[in-house]
Amino acid sequence: MLPRPGAGPPRLVAGPRPCLHRKLIVRDAAQTLITSANLTEAAQERNIEAGVFIDDESVARGVVAQLDRLVAVGVLVQASL
């Protein structure tokens, strides 16, 4: 079941109900991958995952801008690799 529009992100809850958390990759400010997939061998072999690849610079720039805003207001913390 998909969350209704405007419902916000699914919450992690104890119990049998499945939950979804997204992974987001922006490459060269031009391509965006949004997926539920974990990038591990176990996840790739056993899990059912879904994702979308968007080859559009304006989408990628918008995603980066939104992430930057979330860092600026303290919702996200930028990790150093």
Q: Does the pLDDT of residue 3 top 90, yes or no?
A: no
Specify the number of domains making up the chain.
Answer: 1
Question: Is 49 part of any domain?
Answer: yes
- Residue 52 in domain: yes
Could you tell me if residue 27 is inside a domain?
yes
User: pLDDT tens digits for 32-54?
Assistant: 999 888 878 877 788 888 899 99
Is residue 59 in some structural domain? yes
Q: Are strands 31-35 and 23-27 parallel, antiparallel or unpaired?
A: antiparallel
Q: Is residue 47 part of a domain?
A: yes
Domain that holds residue 28: 23-72
How do 51-55 and 23-27 pair as beta strands?
A: unpaired
Q: Tokens at residue 59, please?
A: 């989408």
Query: DSSP class of residue 23?
Result: E
Q: Is 32 part of a structural domain of the chain?
A: yes
In-domain check, residue 80: no
Determine, yes or no, domain membership for 34.
yes
> Residue type for 28, please?
D
Summarised one tens digit per residue, pLDDT across range 51-80 is: 999 999 999 999 999 989 988 998 888 777
